[in-house]
Amino acid sequence: MTRRVLYDNIALSLATLPVVTVYLPVITAPASIFFSIKYWKNPGSILPRTKVRFVLAILLSLIQILLSRR
Amino acid sequence: MAEKIYERLPGRGANTIFAVKLWLANDHLLLVESMGFSESYKRFYFRDIESITVTHTDRRLIINVVLAVFAALFTLPIFFSDLAAAIVWSILALPIYALIVVNTLKGRACVCHLTTAVQREKLASLSRCSVPNASLRKIEPSSSRRKPLPSPSSRSDAPLRPALPQSRGPRGRRKVHGVRRLLLPRVRFRAPPPRHLRKLPPQALGPQIRLVRPVCGYRPRRPLSRGIFADLGFLFHHGPCPLAIPTSFHEGAVWESLDR
């Protein structure tokens, strides 16, 4: 049996789920960007899968960071 | 990106907390159990698979009965309330009716097991009778194309395991059911098919799959009517037993009578 961690799902969840609170994205948005960049080249699922979740996670996190600065 | 060697097979299911999907490769089946942030994979090579059995269950009926009870609970107050409350109750009841319709349209429920020499794995993604047919139609060409690898124990020129001819039981029933060559006749079937399945024409579930009842785990079910009568008889016979307990037992004074 093989097991793989889906870092793209983790990054996307970090970018989307804490949005329901106000203060959590301050921490989770940079964490999501960190996860996306660090694990970009890590082997993900052995099934066909694209990097679109990483891209979405980075974009959403950047939007959250920009909004939090205002 | 991973190479696209896998083809998704129809159907999805759940195993306790895992979402289960089945993928097809050239020489094996891949069972994927995903839990959101991680995935576990189990490979079943075609040369190891001995059988894939499909058994009908009453899961659809049970789910429908449970949903119908809830639907009735939300529907009955409609007739005894004013207009505003009736609208609220009907809004609550409608999704349950929708679930009943969806559950009915999804088809009859079944349990699918994949058997190898060392394990018997439940294929939770093949949980409706229409799904195993579609999946096995895709699996069968792949399994017939397969080239069995020589194992260390069989390096001679003899074939790995010759396919046995289909034999007939004492009453003329076929003993061996199977998906042509994919289901090798290691699994024996002792019990005859249930009455409601005997009425089905053989092509009802497609030409490649037969309904079977595996010996392993087979347990004949008691008919509901007989069960109710048996329970009533038990209650009638043993129900008065608690009345024989002396009242001093309930009052906590039974020990005093024992001391005497």
Q: Which of A37-41, B31-35, B130-134 has the lowest mean pLDDT?
A: B130-134
| pLDDT confidence of residue B223 | 61
Distance between CA B111 and CA B127 in Å, rounded? 6
Q: What is the mean pLDDT of chain A?
A: 89
- State the virtual CA torsion across B205, B210, B216, B219 in degrees, nearest 10: 50
pLDDT above 60: residue B156 = no
| pLDDT confidence of residue A6 | 92
A7 CA: distance to closest CA in chain B (Å): 7
Residue B32 is nearest to which of A43, A47, A50, comparing CB atoms? A47
Give the mean pLDDT of B94-99: 94
Residue whose tokens read 């139609």: B137
Instruction: Name the pTM for this structure.
Output: 0.59
CB proximity list for B30: less than 8 A, separation 6 or greater = A46, A47, B6, B22, B23, B24, B41, B42, B43, B44
| pLDDT confidence of residue B141 | 67
Residue B39 is nearest to which of A13, A45, A48, comparing CB atoms? A45
pLDDT confidence tier of residue B179, bands split at 50, 70 and 90: very low
Question: Is B118 an interface residue toward A (CB < 8 Å)?
Answer: no
**CA-based nearest residue to B110, from B89, B127, B93, B134:** B127
Question: Is B29 an interface residue toward A (CB < 8 Å)?
Answer: no
